[in-house]
């Protein structure tokens, strides 16, 4: 699952997955609220089943920040064990510390070039195989 509001970043992740020969379904949510609805099957949204093995989370989201999403997720008994990798443009120490308070699996600052992004995605995938 990818929780990202930027169209270009969504397309970059999709291209990077394709370039790394990953054909798993990619569920995309543009806000933390939308992601929670998809994970829970609430507000008329169909529940993702099975739950995603990995969630890539941007911190800078509309309506609900990535940190607020993490707080809500970790307080949900059915969702709290999901694996989360923060994939964000923020290199702020306070953001990194806040994310790790919610036991994220990793924190990656988005690379600027597509080749670097593809390598980052390949590294993420290698860790989760």
List domains and CATH numbers for the chain: 2-128 (3.40.50.2300)
Average model confidence (pLDDT) across the chain:
91
CA-derived radius of gyration, the chain: 14
pTM for the full model? 0.91
Q: Is the pLDDT of residue 18 over 70?
A: yes
For residue 128, pLDDT over 70 is answered with no
pLDDT surpassing 80 at residue 109: yes
């Amino acid at each position: 699952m990818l929780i990202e509001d930027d169209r270009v970043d969504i397309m970059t992740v999709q291209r990077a997955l394709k370039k790394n020969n990953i054909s798993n379904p990619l569920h995309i949510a543009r806000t933390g609220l939308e992601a929670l609805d998809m994970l829970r099957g609430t507000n008329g949204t169909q529940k993702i089943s099975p739950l995603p093995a990995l969630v890539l989370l941007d911190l800078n989201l509309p309506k609900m920040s990535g940190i607020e999403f993490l707080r809500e997720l970790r307080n949900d008994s059915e969702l709290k064990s999901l694996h989360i990798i923060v994939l964000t443009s923020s290199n702020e120490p306070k953001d990194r510390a806040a994310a790790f308070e919610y036991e994220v699996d990793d924190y990656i600052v988005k690379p600027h070039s597509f080749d670097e992004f593809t390598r980052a995605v390949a590294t993420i995938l290698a860790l989760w195989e």
